[in-house]
Amino acid sequence: MATTISSSSPSSSPTLSLTTPENTTTRPSAPTRTRSSSLLHKNVLQRMRPLPFQYIYTFWHTKPGSSNPTPLAESIPDIATFYKIYNNFPWENLSLKDGVHFFRSGVRPLWEDEENIEGGCWVLKVRKEDGRALRTWEEVCLLVLGGEVGSVVARERDHILGISYSPRLYVAHISIWTKQGANRQSIEALQKTVVSRLSPELQPKSEMDYYYKKHSQHEGWEEAVKSKKAAEQESDVQNGPVS
């Protein structure tokens, strides 16, 4: 399945170009090749290369306070396509509090999305120096998109819907979105799996470095949900009854 690239204004979202021949590689680009955390990377690649992801993903960009995420790439079915994006995305162009997200097709990276509305995020805070945040983000992507974390959560009858990366001044927030924000067993299983499966040098040093928060606990959640419902009602009125 081909990946669809959605163009966007350079002033609103980073530009993602996958047109050059060298962009077809599945291996990390030079900046990430220097990491020592290659064992997880190689093991995951060996398991994933022959098969597609369990789900098709869309790559999104969001700006703080906006309810209109921009799709940068659609129909991401496998590890090769993931690395085309990871290796060519201009990470350094992300503004503070901007977000980029890999989400299951059909789900948007918004609290008020129908799939997300009862859920929440497990958030890992990572220092940005020496490329640590992006190396951690890469490993989390492999663990989640490759299905390892999802299978653990599924045993607790929950689902992972997407993952996000958002830079702050000194740290980056890496978030894993789950469907059931009140499912403690799922949250604990997710946390244990991610913390233990990250390469040793990337594992969080303290429990203060991660937390889980339901979307409904955020300021602005209720307003976002009300706005979504109002927009749906207006659309129903404009479209009229279905014959």
E strand or H helix at 210: strand 210-214
Name the β-bridge partners of 214. Answer: 120
What sign has the CA pseudo-torsion 178, 179, 184, 186?
Answer: negative
Contact by Cβ (8 Å): 53, 147: yes
Name the β-bridge partners of 174. Answer: 124, 165
Share of the chain above pLDDT 90, in %: 65
CA angle 129, 73, 96 (to 5 degrees): 30
For the record, the structure tokens of 34 come out as: 């220097």
Expressed in angstroms, the distance from the first to the final Cα of the chain is 35
pLDDT band at residue 80, thresholds of 50, 70 and 90? Answer: very high
The predicted-structure confidence for 181-214, as pLDDT tens digits, reads as follows 999 999 999 999 999 999 999 999 999 999 999 9
d(CA 204, CA 44): 21
The predicted-structure confidence for 9-54, as pLDDT tens digits, reads as follows 444 677 776 654 344 444 444 344 434 455 666 666 655 555 799 9
Write down the CATH number for the domain with range 56-217: 3.30.760.10
> What pLDDT is recorded for position 18?
61
**Cα Rg, the chain, nearest whole Å:** 18
d(CA 146, CA 26): 14
d(CA 78, CA 52): 5
For the record, the structure tokens of 167 come out as: 């830079």
Residue 97 has pLDDT above 60, yes or no: yes
For the record, the structure tokens of 144 come out as: 């989640």
Residue 122, φ and ψ in degrees, nearest 5: -90, 120
> What pLDDT is recorded for position 32?
42
CA-to-CA dists, residue 153 to 8, 44, 88, 158, 173, angstroms: 34, 18, 30, 5, 21
d(CA 81, CA 208): 34
Mapping DSSP to helix (H, G, I), strand (E, B) and coil, where does residue 174 land?
strand
Closest by CA to 163, choosing from 79, 73, 59, is: 59
Name the β-bridge partners of 190. Answer: none
Q: Tell me the mean pLDDT in the region 205-229.
A: 87
